[in-house]
Chains A and B, each alone.
Chain A
Amino acid sequence: DIQMTQSPSSMSASVGDRVTITCRASQGVKTWLAWYQQKPGKAPNLLIYGASSLQSGVPSRFSGSGSGTDFTLTISSLQPEDFATYYCQQTDSFPPTFGQGTKVEVQ
């Protein structure tokens, strides 16, 4: 199975901050990488697919980049509703695997 490792596991940030989360795959997945946001008690919400394609309805402050084994999710200006846990997922092969999550907390 492809292992997905996110860093950091948690972080503190303030409204307006630029936030960057990284995800590393244990083997190359080309650009088959998705990002999800999850709030407490809620289902994950797809933000990015294909490493950099913004899902319909997702604010443009979210962006993704990377290919191969190293990927980044960036929030250009953190908003109050963005405090949540973020997961990457490789969609290249079965089984689809997720990172352990990055919790973005209020500083």
Chain B
Amino acid sequence: QITLKESGPTLVKPTQTLTLTCTFSGFSLSTTGMGVGWIRQSPGKALEWLTIIYYDDDKRYRSSLRSRLTITKDTSKNQVVLTMTNMDPVDTATYYCAHSIYSRVFDYWGQGTLITVSS
């Protein structure tokens, strides 16, 4: 059974860097086809895809945020890390990590973590 869970700070100050960790179980990111992505949702708003990393270390980013985002994986720890620099209050949102296989469909999601950007 696949599970994912996000962890990290709940409050960051403007201009700071956010680091979120997605710890997962039930699959290996070294298995062909596997991927883990990050999606966020501002309060009361729609879902916004941010980035994804695949088993072969292929990485894709939302172009409008490309300069601020980095995604990495640690296969031995079953973790994926998202860093987002220069945080702004408009980045306040619930951040989800999610599993994907061979596609851009997200079939398993973490519970999400609310990140508030405020001084």
CB within 8 Å of B: which residues of A? 32, 34, 36, 42-46, 49, 55, 87, 89, 91-92, 94-101
- Report B-chain residues with C-beta under 8 Å of the C-beta of A99: 46
Contact for A43 among B48, B60, B62, B96, CB less than 8 A:
B96
Tell whether, in the assembled complex, residue A43 and residue B47 are in contact, meaning their CB atoms are under 8 Å apart.
Answer: no
Q: Measured between alpha carbons, how far is A99 from B45 in the docked complex, in Å?
A: 10
Closest A residue by C-beta to B108: A46
Tell whether, in the assembled complex, residue A95 and residue B105 are in contact, meaning their CB atoms are under 8 Å apart.
Answer: no
Judge if B76 is at the interface, Cβ distance under 8 Å: no
Near A by CB (< 8 A), chain B positions 88-119 give: 96, 98, 103-107, 109-112
Tell whether, in the assembled complex, residue B46 and residue A101 are in contact, meaning their CB atoms are under 8 Å apart.
Answer: yes
Closest A residue by C-beta to B49: A96
Tell whether, in the assembled complex, residue B96 and residue A49 are in contact, meaning their CB atoms are under 8 Å apart.
Answer: no
- Report A-chain residues with C-beta under 8 Å of the C-beta of B109: 43-45
Tell whether, in the assembled complex, residue B112 and residue A43 are in contact, meaning their CB atoms are under 8 Å apart.
Answer: yes
CB distance from A60 to the nearest CB of B (A): 18
Q: Measured between alpha carbons, how far is A32 from B109 in the docked complex, in Å?
A: 19
- Report B-chain residues with C-beta under 8 Å of the C-beta of A98: 46-49
Q: Measured between alpha carbons, how far is A71 from B45 in the docked complex, in Å?
A: 22
CB distance from B42 to the nearest CB of A (A): 12
CB distance from B5 to the nearest CB of A (A): 11
Q: Measured between alpha carbons, how far is A100 from B63 in the docked complex, in Å?
A: 20
